[in-house]
Structure 1
């Protein structure tokens, strides 16, 4: 059955609407699905409406990759700088970024897949990896680790997390929370205090049925 396309005049949608449609196509089906005509059909808009908001498809892709930075790297770096009473709590802040879904794991997976066929995107991924690792190193140095040790610990934390995302690992929330104290101890050398774990767990247990974005 033919999909209706809106006429050339009338409602043209919005930049945010086109971006959201592109985002959904990217995370659901990959970069090859992010094309103007299919998105127009999905939005029930004319193809030419797209050009009121973007110069071309490349401009949409650039906006999507910028959005990826905003949904992943920025909250990750912010989490490494959150206030904490101890090193263990600082690490809990980082893990909470992933467990709460603030870090968009589905988008991260899609962009890393996209990078396999696009050198420019691969370069953005490489730069983001360095930024994230640097933020983790800085956090660990602030808590007393030497530069080399902080670097190795940061890589252990970060590469484990990216491995979870790349493998699309799925765990029940209760299982994840039960593993958190050991993860924190391995990552930092310090086991979280019961009060710190209670605060951490309360972030998630207060939301019945919530499903975090990815494992730690």
Structure 2
């Protein structure tokens, strides 16, 4: 079954950055997206998240047309079905690693009795001390915490925007291998944006976005 379907997608603002983009990702499949800076790779991710509307085409995540959702439904989809990992981890300073991982679940259920134990287990699996403050974590630890946070709601799809871009070379491949291992273990789809050919080569497929020319 398809986890993500992009059909004839055209993205941009007043004019398209790219057009006629088609993609189908199944459970357990990993796809890397490459392309020059400014071509619209991050815009593709925010469009899939429902934060930008496409100029044309459709995005379907786990059977749901993202841009037909109303009111708080897109936010709920982002929280419960899609996990996100960004370049710098984007953790909340002043909170522990455990707090950061629990947050997406608590946004929808403040009294969830299972979230503490599940978040702590994820951090143990990813080798991060749960009591450490976000600002005390190394680059690699921040990314592992961000991955745990992306996984806490058992997503069907993970979107990763340059998840290894801020890491040293020696840590980069380790972080990517960990991300892929979690995707395969949990049988979710992964769409990865990267500039690094060595990282892209680890995915099942590589798609290159080219700029729209008038």
- Fold-level similarity (TM above 0.5): no
Higher helix share: 1
Higher strand share: 2
TM-score (norm 1): 0.28
TM-score (norm 2): 0.29
Structure with larger Rg: 1
